[in-house]
Structure formats: structure tokens, C-alpha cells
């Protein structure tokens, strides 16, 4: 049997990778095509740029972008699952990006996210994708907003960006949202961690999750106190919402909750109301357009930086770059002259 691909197979393979055809298929409900579009975005390169050109005019952002961040184990994925359920009950279509900047092979967190949201796996109105940096020049800081635009272009009215931790990259990615939810658990440790990680600055809504455990009210009070001392806070004061994403009524243990009335809340609806309130503030104040504009300009700068880095790296590894490095090591030129020559060779 001839192992070489036939012209028909080559054509089918091109169609599977062609961004325009993938986008048409994704808009028609082809989930595999949506996944392939997001894979192209993650990998970067010419195909990613083509996806960007196709999706940008379709509407740069969905109706709302919600960021969910906080320490590992805070219950972010379970909380996200509850948010999806409530949004779907209202008829909205939801895309979820579970972002893991640490490794393209970080199966534990990625698998965990999908298990906790598996109730939505067969729902055509929900698309869940785990993302990691898979070679994109500029990393997830560029891939994440491009992925949001892909989901917006296929009709997702809400996109939720969930990050796995509270490092600098995670905080930056959560900052790509219109409304950023910061999740902590009962206990001072998470509150201090939130302060150190700079989450006080990015939070639009605070959530004390697992509020069926002791110490939730104290953590809520502590966060309110930290907000009281925040002199840099603008017109919007982030509310602090108590939730129990596992479904236990707030203030009740798991064993106690079995006998409680269904009218007792787990806080998820209150959280969604707080998000809606923030959205109303953004729209009424004009801050939504300003915030999205700032993000777009910041993304432009990152794209430029990534492109320049790529051009300089190509020169640095070439013959001209090698000669400049050798001159630097011999002391024939100083560091600034060497950099200037390298940039000149790069055409910058």
C-alpha cells in the first residue's frame, strides 16, 4: 500500500488546518473545529495571525469577560461550574478558558478542571478549553486574549478565564477580564497571600469560598478592613461575597446542610448579582470601553515586543550576531555599542 498521501487526503488535511474553514465550521457548531482554532492560537505563527485577522472584525470581545483567580485549592473550578450553570439557566452561551501557564503537559490541573465541569461537557452552549503556553512567541499573555476573540467570534456571549494560581502571569491574565473575581478561603493565610500577590489591585469582586467552614465571616471582615485602608481605590468598591461552591448552605457544614431548606443560598446567585452590578457600573461610567481599550493597546505593545524579540533572536544566532558577541567578549565594543549593532542588523 502506497503510504504517500493522495491529493484528496492532502486537500482534506489543508481544510482541517485552514483557519477560514475552521472558523466557518466552528460557527456552525463544530466543537472539534473550535478546538483546532484555539490550538492554532496557542502555537502562534502565521496560522495564529490569520485566525486573529479573521476573528478581530467579528467583534473584539464577547458580551462580558469574567476572570476567576485565586490560590490553588480555593475552589475556583467548582465556583466556575456554578456560574456556568446559572448563566446557562438564563440562556447565555459560555466559553471557559482554564489557563495553566506552568506547563503544556500539566495534566493534573487540566484534568481536574474538566472533571469538575463535566456536567457541561455535552452542552452545545458551553465550550471549555484548558490552555497552556505551547510555543506562542509572547506566551499566554498573547494567546489568552486571542482565544477570547475566537470564542466571541463563534457566539459565546460570556467568556470565563480561570487561572490555576496567583503568580504574576496568572494575575496578568485575569486582568484581561472585564470583571475579575478573586477567590480566597476562610483563614488569614489566603488574605495575606491576596495582598502580597497584588490581587487587591485587580479584584472587582472578592469571594470567600467554602464559607460553610469556620472563619468565613472573619475573613470577610478582614478583607473589608483591607479595602477600607486602600487609598488607591476608585469609585467602585469590590464587594466581598460569601459562597459555598460545593452547594452547602453558607454557615452550615456538609452534614448539617442535608436537612436545610432549599431556600438557603450557597452564595452563587449573590456572586452573579455582584458581577452584574459591576458590569452595570462599567457600562454607566464608560469604564468598560476604557478598560477594553487599555487592554487592546497593552496587547498591541506585547505583540510588538514579541515581534522585535523574534527578529533580534534571529540575528543574534546568525553570523553577524556571533561576530558582535565575539567583539563584546574581546572588549572591542561596550555593551551598549554591541546592543546598537545588533538592533541595526535586525533592521530596528
Residue 11 has pLDDT above 50, yes or no: no
Task: Count CA atoms within 13 Å of residue 160 on its CB side.
Answer: 32
- From the list 155, 84, 139, the residue with the least C-alpha distance to 306 is 139
Contact between 204 and 278 under an 8 Å Cβ cutoff? The reply is yes
User: What is the reported pLDDT for 348?
Assistant: 74
> pLDDT of 286-313, one tens digit each?
999 999 999 889 889 988 888 888 888 8
Residues 200, 309, single domain; the answer is no
Tally of domains within the chain: 2
Residue 25 lies in a domain: no
Residues 265, 293, single domain; the answer is no
Residue 83: partners with Cβ closer than 8 Å, 6 or more residues away? 66, 68, 160, 268, 271, 272
DSSP count for the chain of H helices, then E strands: 16, 7
Query: Which pTM does this prediction carry?
Result: 0.82
Contact between 243 and 268 under an 8 Å Cβ cutoff? The reply is yes
Residue 33 lies in a domain: no
User: What is the reported pLDDT for 320?
Assistant: 87
Last residue of a domain, one of 267, 285, 303: 285
Last residue of a domain, one of 269, 285, 301: 285
- From the list 28, 63, 53, 46, the residue with the least C-alpha distance to 146 is 53
Residue 313 lies in a domain: yes
Give the best-scoring range by mean pLDDT among 33-37, 77-81, 256-260, 320-324. 33-37
Please state, in angstroms and rounded to a whole number, the distance separating the CA atoms of residues 136 and 307: 11
The boundaries of the domain holding residue 164 are 59-285
Residue 20 lies in a domain: no
* pLDDT level of residue 110 (50, 70, 90 thresholds): very low
User: What is the reported pLDDT for 175?
Assistant: 74
In percent, the amount of the chain with pLDDT more than 90 equals 42
Residues 291, 277, single domain; the answer is no
Residues 116, 239, single domain; the answer is yes
Residues 340, 225, single domain; the answer is no
Residues 76, 186, single domain; the answer is yes
Look at 284 and 319; give whichever has higher pLDDT. Answer: 284
Residue 98 has pLDDT above 70, yes or no: yes
Residues 168, 70, single domain; the answer is yes
Residues 269, 315, single domain; the answer is no
Neighbours of 1 (CB within 10 A): 3
Last residue of a domain, one of 285, 300, 322: 285
Residues 301, 344, single domain; the answer is yes
- From the list 25, 19, 59, 30, the residue with the least C-alpha distance to 124 is 30
Look at 321 and 247; give whichever has higher pLDDT. Answer: 321
Q: DSSP secondary-structure letter at 242?
A: E
Average pLDDT, the chain: 81
Look at 104 and 149; give whichever has higher pLDDT. Answer: 149
Q: What's the CATH number where 127 sits? A: 3.40.50.300
Residues 280, 299, single domain; the answer is no
> pLDDT of 251-271, one tens digit each?
444 444 444 444 457 899 999
Amino acid at each position: 500500500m502506497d503510504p504517500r498521501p493522495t491529493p484528496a487526503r492532502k486537500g482534506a488535511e489543508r481544510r482541517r488546518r485552514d483557519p477560514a474553514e475552521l472558523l466557518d465550521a466552528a460557527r456552525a457548531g463544530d466543537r472539534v473545529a473550535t478546538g483546532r482554532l484555539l490550538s492554532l492560537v496557542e502555537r502562534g505563527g502565521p496560522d495564529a495571525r490569520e485566525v486573529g485577522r479573521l476573528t478581530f472584525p467579528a467583534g473584539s470581545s464577547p458580551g462580558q469577560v469574567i476572570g476567576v483567580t485565586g490560590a490553588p485549592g480555593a475552589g475556583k473550578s467548582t465556583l466556575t461550574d456554578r456560574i456556568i450553570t446559572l448563566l446557562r439557566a438564563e440562556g447565555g452561551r459560555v466559553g471557559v478558558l482554564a489557563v495553566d501557564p506552568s506547563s503544556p503537559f500539566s495534566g493534573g490541573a487540566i484534568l481536574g478542571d474538566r472533571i469538575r465541569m463535566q456536567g457541561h461537557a455535552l452542552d452545545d452552549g458551553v465550550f471549555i478549553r484548558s490552555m497552556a503556553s505551547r510555543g506562542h512567541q509572547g506566551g499566554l499573555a498573547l494567546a489568552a486574549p486571542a482565544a477570547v476573540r475566537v470564542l466571541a467570534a463563534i457566539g459565546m456571549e460570556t467568556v470565563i478565564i480561570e487561572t490555576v494560581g496567583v503568580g504574576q502571569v496568572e494575575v496578568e491574565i485575569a486582568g484581561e477580564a472585564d470583571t475579575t473575581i478573586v477567590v480566597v478561603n476562610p483563614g488569614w493565610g489566603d488574605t495575606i497571600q491576596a495582598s502580597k500577590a497584588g490581587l487587591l489591585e485587580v479584584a472587582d469582586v472578592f469571594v470567600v469560598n467554602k464559607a460553610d467552614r469556620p472563619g468565613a465571616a472573619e475573613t470577610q471582615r478582614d478583607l473589608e478592613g483591607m479595602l477600607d485602608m486602600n487609598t488607591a481605590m476608585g469609585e467602585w468598591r469590590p464587594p466581598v461575597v460569601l459562597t459555598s461552591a460545593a452547594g452547602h448552605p453558607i454557615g452550615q457544614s456538609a452534614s448539617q446542610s442535608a436537612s436545610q431548606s432549599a431556600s438557603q443560598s450557597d452564595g452563587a446567585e449573590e456572586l452573579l448579582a455582584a458581577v452584574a452590578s459591576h458590569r452595570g457600573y462599567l457600562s454607566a461610567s464608560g469604564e468598560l470601553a476604557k478598560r477594553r481599550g487599555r487592554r487592546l493597546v497593552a496587547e498591541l505593545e506585547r505583540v510588538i515586543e514579541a515581534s522585535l524579540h523574534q527578529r533580534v533572536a534571529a540575528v543574534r544566532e546568525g553570523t553577524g550576531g556571533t561576530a558582535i558577541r565575539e567583539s563584546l567578549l574581546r572588549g572591542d565594543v561596550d555593551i551598549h555599542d554591541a546592543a546598537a549593532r545588533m538592533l541595526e542588523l535586525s533592521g530596528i
